[in-house]
Amino acid sequence: MSFKKVLVVSQLPPPVNGSTLMTKTLVEQLGKLGIDTCVISKSFSKDSDEIGKKYASKILKIPRFLLGLVSANIKFSPKLVIYFLTNRVPSFYLDFLALSILRMFRANVVLYLHTSGYEKLIRKSKLNAALCRSAFSWADKLVTLSPKLSSDITQFVPELKIHSIANAVEDQFTLKSKVLPRKRFENKQIIFVGNLVEGKGYEEFLDASLKLRRKGLISKALIIGAETKSGQILDMRKRVSQMSYENDVKILGPRSREEISRYLSESSVFVFPTTYEFEAQPLVIVEALSAGLPVVALGAGAIPDFFAIGQIGELLEPRQARDLADAIARTLDDFDKWLAMSLTARKVYSRNHSMASYRKAWVDLLAELGLELEK
Q: Residue 270 belongs to a domain with what CATH number? A: 3.40.50.2000
Residues 45 and 117 in one domain: yes
For the segment 189-212, the average pLDDT, to the nearest whole number, is 97
Which range of residues forms the domain containing residue 8? 2-168+354-373
Residues 189 and 280 in one domain: yes
DSSP string, 283-337: HHHHHHHHTT--EEEE--TTHHHHTSSS-SEEEE-GGGGGGHHHHHHHHTS-HHH
Question: Which are the contacts of 117, defined by CB distance < 8 A and separation ≥ 6?
Answer: 87, 152, 277, 278
pTM: 0.93
Residues 182 and 163 in one domain: no
d(CA 106, CA 101): 11
Residues 364 and 315 in one domain: no
Residues 348 and 367 in one domain: no
d(CA 52, CA 266): 34
**How many distinct helices (H) and strands (E) make up the chain?**
15, 14
In this predicted structure, what is the pLDDT of residue 165? 98
DSSP run (H or E) holding 164: strand 162-164
Residues 147 and 275 in one domain: no
pLDDT of 255 strictly over 60 = yes
In this predicted structure, what is the pLDDT of residue 375? 59
- Report the candidate in 331, 294, 325, 298 with the shortest Cα–Cα distance to residue 210: 325
Write 66-74 long-range contacts (CB < 8 A, 24+). Answer: 66/97, 66/98, 66/101, 68/40, 69/9, 69/40, 69/98, 69/101, 69/102, 70/101, 72/7, 72/38, 72/40, 73/7, 73/102, 73/104, 73/105, 73/107
CA atoms 40, 86, 228, 206: torsion sign: negative
pLDDT > 70: what percent of the chain? Answer: 94
For the segment 16-34, the average pLDDT, to the nearest whole number, is 95
pLDDT of 137 strictly over 70 = yes
List, in sequence order, every residue forming a beta bridge with 36; answer none if it has no partner.
5
For the segment 252-277, the average pLDDT, to the nearest whole number, is 96
pLDDT tens digits for range 48-99: 555 555 556 778 889 999 999 999 999 999 999 999 999 999 999 999 999 9
Predicted confidence band of residue 106 (pLDDT cuts 50, 70, 90): confident
For the segment 300-328, the average pLDDT, to the nearest whole number, is 93
Contact 312, 332 (CB under 8 A): no
Residues 261 and 188 in one domain: yes
Predicted confidence band of residue 220 (pLDDT cuts 50, 70, 90): very high
In this predicted structure, what is the pLDDT of residue 374? 67
Residues 193 and 76 in one domain: no
Contact 102, 266 (CB under 8 A): no
Residues 217 and 144 in one domain: no
Residues 146 and 286 in one domain: no
pLDDT tens digits for range 70-81: 999 999 999 999
d(CA 230, CA 233): 8
For the segment 301-314, the average pLDDT, to the nearest whole number, is 95
Listed ranges 60-69, 234-243, 311-320; the one with the highest mean pLDDT: 234-243
pLDDT of 205 strictly over 70 = yes
How far from 28 is each of 23, 37, 223, 304, 373, CA to CA, in Å? 9, 9, 29, 28, 16
In this predicted structure, what is the pLDDT of residue 47? 56
pLDDT of 327 strictly over 60 = yes
**β-pairing, 295-298 with 249-253?**
unpaired
The CA dihedral of 32, 259, 14, 356, to the nearest 10 degrees, is 20
Predicted confidence band of residue 318 (pLDDT cuts 50, 70, 90): confident
| Mean predicted lDDT score pLDDT of the chain | 93
Number of domains into which the chain is organized = 2
Residues 145 and 179 in one domain: no
d(CA 168, CA 155): 27
Residues 156 and 180 in one domain: no
What is the biggest distance separating any 2 CA atoms in the chain, rounded to whole angstroms?
65
Question: Which are the contacts of 59, defined by CB distance < 8 A and separation ≥ 6?
Answer: none
Amino acid at 266: E
pLDDT of 46 strictly over 70 = no
